[in-house]
C-alpha cells in the first residue's frame, strides 16, 4: 500500500472571511468552493475522536494555488460558534506552519509588508551570513505561521 500524495490541508479558523482576505486577497489564492454545510448527517460529526464538540454547521472554503492539481487548502469555520485552541510554534508537536514557494523571497516580503502583513520577526532574522534571504515567516489572521521560501538552494 502506498499513499499517492497530499490531497489537501485543512485549517480551522476563527473567522473565515478574515482568513479569505489573507489567503485570497493578499496571497492571491483562488477560491473554488465556498459554502456552509449542515453537520447533522456529516460522517464523524458526532465523534469525540474527530471534533472537540458537536457542531451544527461549518463554513468551508477550498482555496487553490493555481489551476494545477497541487494540494489545496480547506479553510473551515463554525458560524456562530467559537473554536478553541492556540496556534503552535515550529518547535511544538503538531502541524506548525504552511509553506509556499515563491520566486524572490525578499521582493515577496516587501510586497507583503506593503499590504500590511507583519513579518514574524524582522528581515534580519531571516538573513543568512552571506546577506541572502531565502525564507520568511508571517502570521495569518489566527496567528498560524505561514512561510515563504525560494525552494532548495542550488548548491
Each residue of 7-36: pLDDT tens digit? 899 999 999 999 999 999 999 999 999 999
The mean of the pLDDT values for the chain is 89
Each residue of 83-118: pLDDT tens digit? 889 999 999 999 999 999 999 999 999 999 999 999
pLDDT at 154: 60
**Distance from C-alpha of 139 to C-alpha of 97, rounded to nearest angstrom:** 9
Q: HSE on the CB side for 52, CA within 13 Å?
A: 7
- Are the C-beta atoms of 29 and 65 separated by less than 8 Å? yes
Question: Helix, strand, coil shares of the chain as percentages rounded to 5?
Answer: 15, 30, 55
Domain spans of the chain, in order of start: 8-77, 97-149
Radius of gyration of the CA atoms of the chain, in A: 17
Please state the CATH superfamily assignment of the domain spanning residues 97-149 in this structure.
2,3-Dihydroxybiphenyl 1,2-Dioxygenase, domain 1 (3.10.180.10)
- Are the C-beta atoms of 8 and 70 separated by less than 8 Å? no
**Distance from C-alpha of 106 to C-alpha of 1, rounded to nearest angstrom:** 42
| Stretch 47-64: mean pLDDT | 85
44 — pLDDT class (breaks 50, 70, 90)? confident
Q: Answer yes or no: is pLDDT of 66 > 90.
A: no
Q: Does domain 8-77 have CATH number 3.10.180.10?
A: yes
Q: Examine domains 8-77 and 97-149 and report if their fold is the same.
A: yes
Each residue of 120-131: pLDDT tens digit? 998 899 998 999
56 — pLDDT class (breaks 50, 70, 90)? confident
Amino acid at each position: 500500500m502506498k499513499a499517492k500524495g497530499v490531497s489537501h490541508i485543512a485549517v480551522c479558523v476563527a473567522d473565515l472571511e478574515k482568513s479569505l482576505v489573507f489567503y485570497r486577497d493578499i496571497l492571491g489564492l483562488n477560491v473554488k468552493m465556498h459554502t456552509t454545510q449542515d453537520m447533522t448527517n456529516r460522517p464523524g460529526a458526532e465523534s469525540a475522536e474527530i471534533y472537540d464538540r458537536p457542531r451544527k454547521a461549518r463554513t468551508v472554503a477550498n482555496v487553490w494555488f493555481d489551476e494545477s492539481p497541487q494540494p489545496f487548502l480547506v479553510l473551515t469555520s463554525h458560524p456562530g460558534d467559537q473554536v478553541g485552541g492556540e496556534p503552535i510554534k515550529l518547535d511544538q508537536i503538531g502541524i506548525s506552519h504552511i509553506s509556499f514557494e515563491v520566486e524572490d523571497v525578499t521582493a515577496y516580503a516587501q510586497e507583503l509588508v506593503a499590504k500590511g502583513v507583519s513579518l514574524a520577526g524582522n528581515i534580519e532574522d531571516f538573513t543568512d551570513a552571506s546577506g541572502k534571504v531565502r525564507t520568511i515567516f508571517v502570521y495569518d489572521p489566527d496567528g498560524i505561521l505561514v512561510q515563504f521560501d525560494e525552494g532548495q538552494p542550488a548548491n
